[in-house]
Structure 1
Amino acid sequence: MKFAIISAGEGSRLSQEGVALPKPLVQLNGMAMIDRLVHIFAQNGAEQVVIIINNEVALTKEHVAALKETAEVPLEVIVKTTPSSMHSFYELSRFLKDDKFCLTTVDTIFREDEFAAFIEAFKASGKDGMMAVTDYIDDEKPLYISTDEKLNITGFHDAATPDCRYISGGIYCLTPKAIDTLEKCMEKGMSRMRNFQRQLVADGLQLEAYPFSKILDVDHASDIVKAEAFLNHKE
């Protein structure tokens, strides 16, 4: 199984709030976020980790180049500035067409035991995809997920509906079948990950929601403190 990291954003909100390091290098409990993800993926049997970073931040490029030499798992690094996360995913997708894969953004923070259980559940499932979800809402523009009683995903919504128990946690386990949908979205000129997810449902892919207790994003300086407290089981 392969793993992929979208790390091509600029982290402009963090820099505006006084955080000197680019987002992928922001430290949580003494480890850069991008290093933490690569380590966790290696611990979960990654055959390869594919990373996309932008071409604008020299410090990130230097760090990832060094990481490629020392990582516990083979890394493939794409250096390209893209207009959206979905475009970044498209750049990664050429490495993801031959096996099940897990995709996330560099600032998605979760507990390692929950993630390991999620990966094992996906490996054992016959579904086309399994999405990490949470009922903890700390996102400025959450993507709500509607499900049936068996947690099969029926839709993705910008606002909550009566059958929305969860929001997206931003961790996607998918099969290569999803790449066909991604390519269709690109041909149509779509640019948002949530529209890609909606197209997965429209295309009839079988998707299951997998609940986590909490998933955080590091978008603001204050989120760093919250993330460390969460990982240290103090929140």
Structure 2
Amino acid sequence: MDYAIIAAGEGSRLAQEGVKWPKPLVKLNGVTLIDRLIDVFLKNNASSINIIVNEEMTEVQEYLNKLQLPVPFYLLVKSTPSSMHSFYELSHFLDGNNVCLTTVDTIFKEEEFSKYIQAFQENDQLDGLMAVTDFIDDEKPLYVETDKDLMIRNFLDKNNNNCRYISGGIYCLKRTGLAVLNNSISQGMSRMRNYQRQLIAEGLKLKAYPFSKIVDVDHAEDIQKAEQFLKS
């Protein structure tokens, strides 16, 4: 399993709220966000770990360049206009058939994540298994419309009253999904949610995988919330 981490955002809201560390180096219960993800991935069949950070994050670059990992590790330093473009840049270094992508501030329970990865690896019929949750604490959630078998029908900016879940920001994809990513870029698309819609438009088989709770660290107050969530 190739793992990819998008850590290319500026983290401007955290900085404005007095958090001195760049987002990837923010600590939850004494562990940085980036180290936590790397550790979880290594425990879940990582064949490679690939991270993109923006050009201004020199402190993060220095931190990551010192890492010694037991699997191939690639750090890409490049500023991009969106997370979709960040994924596209990382996709050039993903050689396997299975990839798991997440952003650096996505917080989940490790036990649930392990079951999610196992479910994806055991299902050869899917093009993608997308993490979802019915816990909504996002400023602009992406609603996920599914059928009774949790096959994804659509991704919506607003709930049409048929959506129990929102996107959790963790994506397991086969190489078919990377082909759609290339198409999306060539068509001038931006934003991950538009890419996800394109996956459906091109007929890929996507299934939702419910997590009990997934939270993002966007604001200073989210740090304590995330720490309590991980302790619970």
User: Normalised by the size of structure 2, how large is the TM-score?
Assistant: 0.98
The aligned residue for residue 86 of structure 2 is: 88
Alignment of 1:65-144 (within 5 A): 65-67=65-67, 70-126=68-124, 127-144=126-143
The aligned residue for residue 53 of structure 1 is: 53
Gaps of 5+ in 2: none
Instruction: Kindly provide the amino acid, as one letter, of the partner of residue 63 in structure 2.
Output: H
Task: Pick closer, same or farther for the CA change 1:97–1:48 going to 2, 3 Å.
Answer: closer
- Give me the whole-angstrom Cα distance separating, in 2, the residues matched to 1:178 and 1:46: 19
Whether the 8 Å contact between 2:2 and 2:95 is mirrored in structure 1 is no
The aligned residue for residue 19 of structure 1 is: 19
- Give me the whole-angstrom Cα distance separating, in 2, the residues matched to 1:23 and 1:43: 23
Q: How many residue pairs were aligned?
A: 231
Whether the 8 Å contact between 1:148 and 1:163 is mirrored in structure 2 is no
The C-alpha deviation readout for 1:186-225, integer Å capped at 9, x for no partner, is 0111110000000000000000000000000000000000
User: How far does residue 74 in structure 1 lie from its aligned partner after superposition?
Assistant: 2.5
DSSP 3-state at the match of 2:41: helix
Structure 1 residue ranges (4+ consecutive) displaced by more than 3 angstroms after TM superposition: none
User: How far does residue 72 in structure 1 lie from its aligned partner after superposition?
Assistant: 4.0
DSSP 3-state at the match of 1:160: coil
- Give me the whole-angstrom Cα distance separating, in 2, the residues matched to 1:14 and 1:73: 31
- Give me the whole-angstrom Cα distance separating, in 2, the residues matched to 1:97 and 1:155: 28
- Give me the whole-angstrom Cα distance separating, in 1, the residues matched to 2:52 and 2:156: 27
The aligned residue for residue 214 of structure 1 is: 213
The aligned residue for residue 170 of structure 2 is: 171
DSSP 3-state at the match of 2:170: strand
Whether the 8 Å contact between 1:8 and 1:82 is mirrored in structure 2 is yes
User: How far does residue 162 in structure 1 lie from its aligned partner after superposition?
Assistant: 2.4
- Give me the whole-angstrom Cα distance separating, in 1, the residues matched to 2:95 and 2:156: 27
Indicate the percent of aligned positions where both proteins have the same amino acid.
59
Whether the 8 Å contact between 1:218 and 1:224 is mirrored in structure 2 is yes
DSSP 3-state at the match of 1:51: strand
The C-alpha deviation readout for 1:56-77, integer Å capped at 9, x for no partner, is 021111111112xx23433111
Whether the 8 Å contact between 1:96 and 1:176 is mirrored in structure 2 is no
User: Normalised by the size of structure 1, how large is the TM-score?
Assistant: 0.97
User: How far does residue 78 in structure 1 lie from its aligned partner after superposition?
Assistant: 0.3
The C-alpha deviation readout for 1:18-66, integer Å capped at 9, x for no partner, is 0000000000111110011001000001010010011102111111111
Whether the 8 Å contact between 1:131 and 1:209 is mirrored in structure 2 is yes
- Give me the whole-angstrom Cα distance separating, in 2, the residues matched to 1:104 and 1:146: 20
Whether the 8 Å contact between 1:48 and 1:74 is mirrored in structure 2 is yes
